[in-house]
């Protein structure tokens, strides 16, 4: 019996006709909730994972090992494909190869490699810079070589050149990424619908839109994104922002001695979503597991 790999599952999604709405996760629990709500794909947001794991901004502070460990926890918790955030590849071209191979071994369906100058920054914050073309192309070439050497993983190639060098340079870089063998293209932070249309019109293959609420890219509806030509719509901060808002409001109510019941998930649903009932059902077949 042939079992589909995570990369196979993502290839199947990309072959479909519909836009893939992709809420982004930051840990195993948020990934489980995404899967439970019927979404077929998630992405480990570097912004959110850095906030959740080390309580620090996404400014290149998490190491390769920490990011890979976070990705492994997420892929272990869900059956849907997960895209990992490989940042700049954590070094030169040889480091990129190791990064791509590592994400494949961790169970990721795809890995994103970008052309920012290390340490990277969130795509919608100040201070972004990109490396020169030759280095950017070497990163994607190395990522594709790692795939060819046996890493069963797709390559999501990202450019942040729009910020510093304009849209034409960003599109030119992304076109070369595709020529080198990237599977999915991501031009970060277009600033208008017209720029989004140009990206989709001038670049081949699947394109990803990154919808940051309050960011530079227009927050279009799924129908609008489909009409423009995007294949994936990523929502990197929606869950993190919602969770933080709920936690802060709950803490404020606790501090003030106010009721908080309307802020909380019901106890039975909380247990079920985390997996207590599944654990009990499976463990019932083992006599020695009945103690819990």
3-class DSSP assignment, residue 280? helix
Percent of the chain with pLDDT over 90: 90
CATH tag, 6-244: 3.20.20.60
Residues 83-95: tens digit of each pLDDT: 999 999 999 999 9
Task: Band the pLDDT of 57: cuts 50, 70, 90.
Answer: very high
* Percent of the chain with pLDDT strictly greater than 70: 96
For the segment 209-227, the average pLDDT, to the nearest whole number, is 96
pLDDT(49) > 80: yes
Rounded distance between C-alpha atoms, residue 233 and residue 48, angstroms: 17
Q: How far apart are CA 157 and CA 86, in angstroms?
A: 10
Categorize the per-residue pLDDT at 14 as very low, low, confident or very high, splitting at 50, 70 and 90: very high
User: According to DSSP H, which parts of 113-216 are helical?
Assistant: 133-148, 161-165, 167-180, 193-202
Render pLDDT for 231-279 as a digit per residue (tens, 0 to 9): 999 999 999 999 999 999 999 999 999 999 899 999 999 999 999 999 9
Q: 46 near 67, Cβ under 8 Å?
A: yes
* pTM score: 0.95
Range 51-64 average pLDDT: 94
Better pLDDT: 58 or 122? 58
Q: Say how far apart CA 288 and CA 90 lie, in whole Å.
A: 45
CATH 3.20.20.60 in the chain: give the residue spans: 6-244
| Residue 52 confidence (pLDDT) | 96
Residue with the larger pLDDT of the pair 219 and 125: 219
pLDDT for 287 equals 78
């Amino acid at each position: 019996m042939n079992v589909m790999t995570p990369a196979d599952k993502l290839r199947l999604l990309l072959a479909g006709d519909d836009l893939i709405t992709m809420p982004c996760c930051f840990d195993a629990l948020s990934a489980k909730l995404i899967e439970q709500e019927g979404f077929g794909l998630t992405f480990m947001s570097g912004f959110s994972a850095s906030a959740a794991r080390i309580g620090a901004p996404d400014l290149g502070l998490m190491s390769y090992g920490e990011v890979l460990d976070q990705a492994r926890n997420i892929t272990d918790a869900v059956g849907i494909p997960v895209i990992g955030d490989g940042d700049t590849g954590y070094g030169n071209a040889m480091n990129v190869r190791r990064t791509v191979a590592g994400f494949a071994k961790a169970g990721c369906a795809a890995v994103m490699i970008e052309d920012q100058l290390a340490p990277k920054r969130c795509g919608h914050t100040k201070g972004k810079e990109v490396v020169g073309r030759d280095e950017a192309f070497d990163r994607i070439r190395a990522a594709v070589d790692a795939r060819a050497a046996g890493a069963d993983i797709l390559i999501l190639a990202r450019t942040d050149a729009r910020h510093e060098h304009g849209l034409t340079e960003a599109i030119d870089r992304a076109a070369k990424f595709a020529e080198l063998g990237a599977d999915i293209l991501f031009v970060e932070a277009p600033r208008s619908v017209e720029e989004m249309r140009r990206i989709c019109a001038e670049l081949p293959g699947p394109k990803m839109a990154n919808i940051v609420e309050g960011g530079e890219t227009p927050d279009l509806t799924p129908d609008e994104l489909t009409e423009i030509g995007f294949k994936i719509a990523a929502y990197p901060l929606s869950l993190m922002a919602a969770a933080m808002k709920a936690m802060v409001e709950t803490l404020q109510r606790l501090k003030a001695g106010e009721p908080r019941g309307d802020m909380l998930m019901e106890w039975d649903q909380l247990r079920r979503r985390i997996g207590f009932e599944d654990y009990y059902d499976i463990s019932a077949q083992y006599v020695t597991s009945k103690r819990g």
